[in-house]
Structure 1
Amino acid sequence: MQKHVISAVALAVVSLGAQAQSSLTVYGVADAGLVLERGGDAGAVQKLGNGVASSSRLGFKGKEDLGGGTILTFILENGYSIDTGAAKQNGALFGRQALICVTGEAGALSVGHQYTPFYKTLNNVADPFATGMAGNAQNIFDDTTRVDNTVEYITPRFHGFSADVQYGFGETAGNSAANRYIGASGTYENGPLTIALAHQQRDNATASAHSRNTMLVGRYRFGDVTGHLAHACNRDVLGSESHDTMLGVSAQMSGADRLFASVIRHHDTTSAQRNAVQAALGYSHALSRRTDIYAAYGHIRNSSTAAFHVGTAADTGSGTTGVNLGVRHVF
């Protein structure tokens, strides 16, 4: 459901009234649940979790038809903690998204604080948990979600193919490569089949080294059952390499019930052998078109000195076992 949340700016439209070609959409997510964590260094934790299945948010999307098939939009999206009312993303006013975009026949060009192509591929295609609950793929896979100072171009879809290219300026005086981000993805969709390839590279503060991640994803719908497969090759700024492999499934059990599960293996190719395996199971029941209740269980087995934690959509977690029970409302 969270993959729909990212693009759920079509809900609750409020007309500006001045021009029929302009509109303002107010949208958001209110998500809270009980979170139980075991296996952390500080001991067991029981808490009221914020943004367990989907991070809580309040957003505004403006749209204006400029004519000739060209549309200008902007998105300003704030993240908040529903359990305390505090702002997320280190207190940034619009720390989730802040962008302006021009869309036409040639595609979409946007600038601002935006989701990365790698994250969108992981969230929208690869992960049956849609990077939420205890089964969140970002517990293991790279967790870079959004980047500042980006320019992004998304092509129109042509015979099932589309591409997404993003460049993030490091904005370091005298060194244009320092803190730079480069990301891209290509997607092919044909009926029940989706195949996607995503890549990203991040330079360090001196541009003396960079990390990179390359991920190949396949998804296929067999009626009410969808299979997910993803494999990522990673290299950090120190040159250490690792591989992440995920096998997942989601099933629409009835009109309101959905079951999903995944297994993820992290393989460290260095001599340290910091390997890990995550297994997770989740369930959601739709009370209405906008509201669902959910439950999830996730467990990570770390090897050697690996220190992966079971988190949620808005929390990195503290233990190796997590249990979630909550409710989510999209407005």
Structure 2
Amino acid sequence: MKKTRALILVLGSAAAHAQTSVTLYGIADAALVSESGGAGGTVAKVTSGAAATSRIGFRGTEDLGNGLSAIFTLETGTKIDTGELDSANTLFNRQAFVGLKGGFGTVALGRQFTPYHNMMVKVVDPFATGYAGRAGNIFPDSGTNVRTSNTITYTMPATRGVDAELSYSAGEQAGSSAGRQYGGAIGYTAGPLALRVAYNNKNADIAATPDAAAVLHGAGRNTLVGASYDLKWIKLHAGYGIDQGYNSAPLPNANNPYGGTKPTPSTDGREALLGFQAPIGPGNLMFSMMHKDDRTAFDQDASAIGIAYLYMLSKRSGIYGAYGHVKNRNGAGYTIGNNTESGSGSTGWNLGLRHTF
């Protein structure tokens, strides 16, 4: 009898240590979008993910015992308006990683968000990089500044309000560092105050091929300093960015949206943002104003404003309206986009419905 009880205890302990959970989650977001001010004139359309990219994801964890867990995330972007995948021939284009989490922090390998983008979402941008007012209309929050493949990340657990994260993405080019990218962020949180600084460095070289010599561009570098302060009745946001080097600040829409002389991406620029969120009624009001200071000889500055209101119908569903406008100088090509599109003109409107599950 004692042996039987002992066996049951051992098996029970092993089962407890091997507890696994998998969660299905996602967002379904669709909006009526109007864009104007570009060379193509006014565009009206139904867009998927204007506030937040529509997605389906699987998130899992397994308890390995002694405070250690195995984790994974597989997340794909979807288009509510057409039913297509966000990215052709790529299933889990948003996130795809596996890792270990314990008292030491979290280590993960795969396709992941950068520390720069994480800071933009959590601290700097009151729109959390969505809607027509998103920070990405001015700040270089696009492309590999948002997420990278072949990436190793480490996230430090918060200690006395201080936390940090590191990221390294291998370019995987034989005999070349082309495409390599690394970055990090460190932050401090104390009650309503959050302070954070992030750095991003990407090698913009093009590796040699059997038919072409290597092209050396050097590194593009981004530094972002930001803060938020939550007064409960209003949450204040601020951010300041410094971009230097080739491809440090690619234009969200590089297709010459205003005609005439093609805009030139800045290789030496500064961005500033001031904004807020305020709970009003059953929803949330968001506002920001931004300025781009291009310090190259082109002097292609820009200023933008954005405002949005999300009215919650329930804990998971809400309707929203948003407006954004940008004023370009000296042929600058900044556009008003949304969470999934770069935009085609200087003014944008969104009217949409979002449901999370």
TM-score (norm: length of structure 1): 0.92
For 2:49 and 2:343, the matched residues in 1 are separated by 12
For 2:79, the aligned partner's letter is: S
Of residues 216, 219, 230, the one that matches 1:210 is: 219
- 2:334 aligns with 308
Residue in 1 aligned with 2:166?
165
Q: Quick check: 1:172–1:178 contact (8 Å CA) kept in 2?
A: yes
User: Aligned partners of 2:70 and 2:42: how far apart in 1?
Assistant: 49
Q: C-alpha distance in 2, partners of 1:66/1:264?
A: 46
Q: Is the contact between residue 283 and residue 296 of structure 1 (CA under 8 Å) also seen in structure 2?
A: yes
Query: 1:66, CA displacement in angstroms?
Result: 0.5
**C-alpha distance in structure 2 between counterparts of 1:270 and 1:45, whole Å:** 32
| Residue 102 of structure 1 pairs with residue 128 of structure 2 | no
Q: Which structure 1 residue ranges, 4+ long, deviate > 3 Å from structure 2?
A: 17-20
* Residue number among 258, 264, 276 corresponding to 1:249 in the alignment: 276
Aligned residue in 2 for 1:153 = 154
For 1:266, the equivalent position in structure 2 comes to 292
Structure 1 stretches lacking a partner, 5+ long = 1-16
Paired with 2:238 and 2:298, the residues of 1 have a C-alpha distance of 27
Report how far residue 236 of structure 1 moved: 3.0
| In structure 2, distance between residues paired with 1:90 and 1:202 | 24
**Alpha-carbon distance in 1 for matches of 2:28, 2:218:** 40
Shift in Å, 1:18: 11
Deviation at 1:119, TM superposition (A): 0.3
What count of residue pairs does the alignment treat as equivalent? 313
Cα shift readout 1:233-290 (whole Å, capped 9, x = no counterpart): 0013178310000000110113x22111000100001121100001111101111111
Deviation string, structure 1 residues 100-150 (Cα, Å, up to 9, x no partner): 010000000000000000000001111001100100101111122100100
8 Å CA contact 1:89–1:96 kept in 2: the answer is no
Identity of aligned residues (%): 38
Tell me how far apart the structure 2 counterparts of residues 64 and 223 of structure 1 sit (CA, whole Å): 36
Q: Distance in 1 between matches of 2:328 and 2:116?
A: 25
The aligned counterpart of 1:194 is 194
1:184 correspondence with 2:177 = no
Matched, 1:33 2:42: no
> How far apart are residue 19 of structure 1 and its match?
8.5
SS of aligned partner of 1:85: coil
2:153 is aligned with what amino acid? E
Letter paired with 2:159? F
Give structure 2 stretches of 5+ with no counterpart.
1-14, 208-215, 248-265
Partners of 2:315 and 2:97 lie apart in 1 by 28
State how far apart, in whole Å, the 1-side matches of 2:237 and 2:354 are: 24
1:1-331 to 2 correspondence within 5 Å?
21-142=19-140, 143=142, 144-175=145-176, 177-204=177-204, 205-206=206-207, 208-237=217-246, 240-254=267-281, 256-331=282-357
Distance 1:200 1:275 in 2: 22
